[in-house]
Amino acid sequence: MAYDAADPRSSLGAGAQKAAAKGYGLASYVKFYETDPQVVDESSRTWLARGAYFVVAYTEAKAGTILTRQGQADEYMVLVPDAEGKIEVTAGDERLAVSGPWVVIVPPGDSEIALAAEGRVVRIFSHLAADLAAMSANASIYEFAHPNLDDYASWPAPKNGYAIRAYSLDVEPTPGRFGRIWRSSNLMVNYSYPRPGPRDVTKMSPHTHEGFEQGSLVLGGSFVHHVRYPWTTDMRYWRNDEHDICAGPSLAVIPPLLIHTSQQVGREINQLVDIFGPPRFDFSQMEGWVLNSEEYPMPGESA
């Protein structure tokens, strides 16, 4: 890994790069602003894109829109990215009204997200939302198993049981802490702090991930996702470097072992949310990084 000394991720353990089992999975870049939505009705439009173990549903909707899930197998997350956003979440006997910007975790089972104001809402599911995964714009990439991915395993249930949980994005930066990270039993989001203007090109952060993908959701501005496919002994798996420009809204999915870094290039505010499914161990092991860690035990911890 190559991080600037001021980057909190420089304190993460740097394990030896493992060799690819048989080539690499393909990165994908789904630009919602260039593609038709997968779900359309009289009051909303929803774009769907996926990774191996997560699905992103990006919705633009009028006030009064209700987004429903029935029999959802596990938790899902809801992002209300804009200060003007207002939603009411109903799950079982619980009901909670939220004004943005917030992150909400919704328990398994039947649930509704009702928009009290026109705006956008992002729902993040695990791959167990099979209907949404099948409709995703990049679903064809996952018709075959991706190499180098660890098997999926959800994490323990929350200590006090499943419930609607909401977290304000109004979290002050802390020296040594990376971003704003929350996790559920099956997902993790890192809602990075807004990045004004282009990135300093002398402080890039090329790195790889072993065993898991990274989803990078652009909500504002624009980013260049730089991706390099390492060489193997089999030239059939050699690929050119990729430097894909993704404005908001869009989702890039980076497979395991690919060298990558994201460079904000918009002159306005650039906003990125990184998505992982299931949660990352390395981030979770860093003291104070996961803001709701007291509610969600790690594997091996007692609930």
Q: Does the pLDDT of residue 8 top 90, yes or no?
A: no
Q: From CA 108, how far away is CA 252, in angstroms rounded? A: 27
For 10-45, what is each residue's pLDDT tens digit?
777 655 456 555 689 999 999 999 999 999 999 999
CB atoms within 10 A of CB 16: 6
For 148-188, what is each residue's pLDDT tens digit?
999 999 999 999 999 999 999 999 999 999 999 999 999 99
Confidence of residue 67 (pLDDT cuts 50, 70, 90): very high
**What integer best gives the mean pLDDT of the chain?**
94
Q: From CA 90, how far away is CA 184, in angstroms rounded? A: 18
Confidence of residue 221 (pLDDT cuts 50, 70, 90): very high
Closest C-alpha to 279, from 117, 74, 84? 74
CB atoms within 10 A of CB 134: 13
Question: What pLDDT does 258 receive?
Answer: 96
For the chain, which residues make up each domain, given as ranges? 8-278
Checking 94-97 for CB contacts under 8 A at 24+ apart, the result is 94/163, 94/164, 95/164, 96/164, 96/166
Q: Does the pLDDT of residue 190 top 80, yes or no?
A: yes
Question: What pLDDT does 21 receive?
Answer: 54
Return the structure tokens found at 280: 């990352």
CB 260 within 8 A of CB 226: yes
Residue 207 β-bridge partners: 260
DSSP secondary structure, the chain, as one string: ----TTSGGGGS--PPPPPPSSS-PPPEEEEGGGS--SEE-SSEEEEEEE-SSEEEEEEEE-TT-EEEEEEESS-EEEEE-STT-EEEEEETTEEEEEESSEEEEE-SEEEEEEESSSEEEEEEEETT-HHHHHHSTTGGGGSSPPTTPPPP-PPPPPTT-S--EEEES-----TT--S-EEE-SS-EEEEPPPEESPPPTTS---B--SS--EEEEEEESEEEEEEE----SSGGG----EEEEEESSEEEEE-TT-EEEEEE--SSEEEEEEEESS--HHHHTSTTTBTTTTTSPPTTS--
CB 49 within 8 A of CB 56: yes
Bigger pLDDT: 266 vs 301? 266
Q: From CA 163, how far away is CA 105, in angstroms rounded? A: 8
8-278 CATH choice from 3.40.190.10, 3.40.50.300, 2.60.120.10, 3.30.1330.10: 2.60.120.10
Return the structure tokens found at 166: 């909401």
Task: Taking the CA atoms of 131, 106, 63 and 221 in sequence, report the sign of the dihedral they define.
Answer: negative
> In whole angstroms, how far apart are CA 108 and each of 151, 165, 213?
22, 12, 24
> In whole angstroms, how far apart are CA 84 and each of 63, 104, 118, 119, 175?
12, 16, 8, 7, 29
Question: What pLDDT does 290 receive?
Answer: 98
For 268-279, what is each residue's pLDDT tens digit?
999 999 999 999
Phi, psi of 133, rounded to the nearest 5 degrees: -60, -40
Work out the average pLDDT over 208-229: 97
Which single residue is written with the structure tokens 């390492």? 230
